Structure 1
C-alpha cells in the first residue's frame, strides 16, 4: 500500500499524522459504463413504477403505427373518456395511480430540481471542499394535492436537526406554506414534507361513525395531507393541551362521536369528570356511565371541600375497577379485550388543572393525585384509559404528563409550551402551536410516544345540536356529584 505516515512529535520534526490510503486506478471506459448502467437502471425502474406516464404513450403509438396519423383522434378520445370516467367513478384510485405520480414528476422536475442548489446554498446545507461544491442528493418526490414528500440523502456529517433548524427557510425558498422534517426511510436520509396547499383552513365535517368502531384506529381528525387521522384509544392515554378557545372541546367530542357505536353496543363506557360544573359535557350526559360535575352539597352549598372530595371518590372508583381487572386478568392476557360484559372504560377529565393545581383541600388533593398516578401508570393494560384536557402544561400543574403516550397540542400562547407538551425538539421539527391563528380552532399537532415527528391535524366542530342528537332522550343511570333520576 502506498502510504505516507508522519507522527507528531519532536523526534519526527513535529509533523502531524498524514495518511494517504492506497488508490485503485480504474479505466475511464469502466467508469462511463457504470454511470450509464446506473442511469439506465434508474430510468427503467422509474418508468415501470409510473404506469400513469408511459401507458398513455403506448396506447397512442399502437394505433398510429397501424392506421397512420388519422387514427390518433379515436384513441385520444377513448383515453380521455377512460380517464374522465375513472376520475369520476373511483377518484381515490385515480389520484393514487395517475394524478399523483404525474404531479410528483412535474414537481420534482420544475420545482425542486430547478431550485435545489440555491435552496441548499442559502440554507447553509451545502459543503465546499477546496473548490468542489457538494449538495445533499435530491431523491424521489411523492406528491399529493397538498403535501410534497421529498426524500433527501444527507451529506456525511449532517444530522436531521441540521435540516429542522432550516425548515422555515426551506419552505420560503421552495414556495411552500410550511416545511416539516421527518426521519427518512433509510439510514442517512431525511424526508422533507412541504405543505403546498392547506386543507385544514376549511372547517372539517364530522366523520361517519362505525357501528363497530376499531378502538385502535378511531377516525377523529383530518391530516394536512387530506387523509383521515386515526387515533388509538385501546391501551392508550391521551393528553390534550390548548389555550382558551383553541378547540379542546372539539377533540373530546370528536372522540365521543367516533365511539358512539361502541357506546350503544356497550363495549365502551364513558366516565366523565367535568370540574367546570357540567358546562362542557352536560348536554351529552345520557351517553355516560358515570358523570361527576362537582355539584355542591345541598346542606353545605358554600363548602368547596364537598365537591373536591367527589372528584377524589370518582377517580378512586376507577382505580377499584382497575384493581379488580388486574386480579382477573393476571396471567391471562397482557392487554384487555373490550366486550359488552367487560367494556373499555374511558375516563374523560376536562380541565385537569382543576384536579392537580387548583384543589384547596389537602386530603382531596392527595387522594386525587394518588388515584390519577395509579390510573396513568397501570390502567392502560386492563382497559381503563384516561383522556385529559388542560390549558397550562407546566410541570407544577401536570407533574405526570410523561405518562400520556399520545399528546395533542392545539394553539398555545408561548413557544416554550410546545416542547413542554409534545417533548423536546417538537417545535424545531415543525410543531408551531404558538403560531396557530385564533380563527382556526381545532388545529393542532399530535405526537406519539417513540415517534419524534409531529402530525398536523384538524378536528371537526361538534355543535350542541349534534351532541343532543347523539345523546338522544335522557336515560341516566348514575351521576356522581348530583342526584338525577
Structure 2
C-alpha cells in the first residue's frame, strides 16, 4: 500500500528591496524623465529658433520698408534741401570743392549785384525765396518749438506721473520734465518771408484752437523779438503766425512825379487800380475808385490827408482831360482849400454840402 503525502507549500515572505535596487530603479525613472524633457526642450528650441528667425526677418523687413518710406517722404517733403545736398556732393566728388567754392562766390556776387541794380525784380524772383529758406531753417525751425512751449501752445501730457519728494522740512510734488511728443507740438508747414513780414504756416494738434494762438499773439511777438504779431486762421487746423520784422511805413512814401504825369494819356489810366500809397507788406497799395467807398480814420497828424490826395494825384491826367469829375466837401474849409481848383464842385457850408449831395444822388438815380 502506497501512501502519498502532500506537503504544504508555504509562500516565501516578501523580501525588501535594497538601497542599491531602489537607487537603480529611481535613476532609471529619472533618466527617462530627463530624456523626455530633453526631447521636448530640443523640439521647443527648434520651434523657438524658427520663430525667432522669422521674427528677426520680419522686423528687419519692416524696419527696412519703414525706413525707405520715411526717407522717400522726407526727400519729397524737403526736395530743395535734398537736391542741393545731392548736387553739392556730386560736384565735390567729380570736380572738387575748389571749383564749387569759385562757382558759389560767383553766384553770390551776381545776386548781390542784381540786388543793387534792380532790387524789386531781385526780391520778386530770388530774394523772397532765399529769405524764406533762410528764415525757416535758421530761425523758425530751431526756435519755434521753444517759443510755443514758453507761450503754452503745446498740448500737455496729462498722464505723466508726479514725483513726491519728502524730507524732514517739507514735502513737494514735482512733475518730470520731458520734451513734448510730436503729437503735442504744432508743426511748421511753410515759411513765407516778405520785405517786412514773415508768414509762418503752422498745423495745430488735436486739443488746440486758433483762438488760443490769437490770444497768445503778443507773447509770440515778445518771444520773436518783434513789435507786432498777428494770427490768421487759414483752415480748421492751420493758422498763419505773421511776424512784422520791420515797419516799412515809418518813412514818407514819395508821390508820383507831376512832370511825368503830364505826359500820361487818360487811356493809360486804370481806374480800378489807382495807386494810393504803400502797404505794410512793402507793396504798392492800389484801390478802385469806380463804384467803391474808402473810409479813413486816424489820430491828428497820422496822415489822413495823404490818403485823400494820393489817389487824386494818380488820376490827375483823367481830371485834366475831363474823364473824371471830383467833388469835394470840406466842412473845415482848410483840408481841400489849397486844391479847390481841382474839384468840379467844392462845398464848405452845410447848405452847400447838402445841395452837392442831393445833386449827386439825382445823377446816380438818372444813371440807373
Give the TM bin, normalised by the shorter chain. Answer: 0.5 to 0.7
Deviation at 1:61, TM superposition (A): 3.0
Contact 2:298/2:304, CA 8 A, preserved across alignment? yes
Contact 2:330/2:348, CA 8 A, preserved across alignment? yes
Q: 1:234 aligns with which of 278, 290, 294?
A: 290
Q: 1:170 aligns with which of 209, 215, 220?
A: 220
Q: Does 1:321 align with 2:363?
A: yes
Match of 2:351 in 1: 309
Write the distance in 1 (CA, Å) between the matches of 2:68 and 2:91.
Answer: 31
User: Which has the higher Rg, Structure 1 or Structure 2?
Assistant: 2
Contact 2:278/2:285, CA 8 A, preserved across alignment? yes
Deviation at 1:81, TM superposition (A): 4.4
Contact 2:272/2:288, CA 8 A, preserved across alignment? yes
Q: Which structure carries more relative contact order (alpha carbon 8 Å, separation 6+)?
A: 1
Number of matched residues? 279
Q: Does 1:279 align with 2:321?
A: no
Write the distance in 1 (CA, Å) between the matches of 2:98 and 2:137.
Answer: 33
Mark the CA change 1:54 to 1:230 in structure 2 (over 3 Å): closer, same or farther: farther
Write the distance in 2 (CA, Å) between the matches of 1:57 and 1:266.
Answer: 62
Contact 1:222/1:228, CA 8 A, preserved across alignment? yes
Could you list the runs of 5+ residues in structure 1 that have no partner in the other structure? 1-25, 295-307, 327-485
Q: CA RMSD in A?
A: 3.0
Q: What CA deviation, in whole Å up to 9, does each residue of 1:213-254 have, x standing for no partner?
A: 322222212222211111222221111122332222121112
Q: Name which of structure 1's ranges 80-89 and 230-239 shifts more when overlaid on structure 2.
A: 80-89
Aligned to 1:37, what secondary structure does the other structure show?
helix
Q: TM-score, normalised by structure 2?
A: 0.67
Q: 1:34 aligns with which of 69, 77, 91?
A: 69
Match of 2:279 in 1: 223
Mark the CA change 1:310 to 1:91 in structure 2 (over 3 Å): closer, same or farther: closer
Deviation at 1:28, TM superposition (A): 5.1
Q: What CA deviation, in whole Å up to 9, does each residue of 1:66-93 have, x standing for no partner?
A: 5x56656764564344334433443223
Write the distance in 2 (CA, Å) between the matches of 1:239 and 1:220.
Answer: 13
Mark the CA change 1:81 to 1:106 in structure 2 (over 3 Å): closer, same or farther: closer
Q: Does 1:158 align with 2:208?
A: yes
Q: 1:246 aligns with which of 292, 295, 302?
A: 302
Contact 2:155/2:208, CA 8 A, preserved across alignment? no
Contact 1:111/1:174, CA 8 A, preserved across alignment? no
Runs of 4+ in structure 1 over 6 Å off: 53-56
Contact 2:91/2:97, CA 8 A, preserved across alignment? no
Could you list the runs of 5+ residues in structure 2 that have no partner in the other structure? 1-60, 161-179
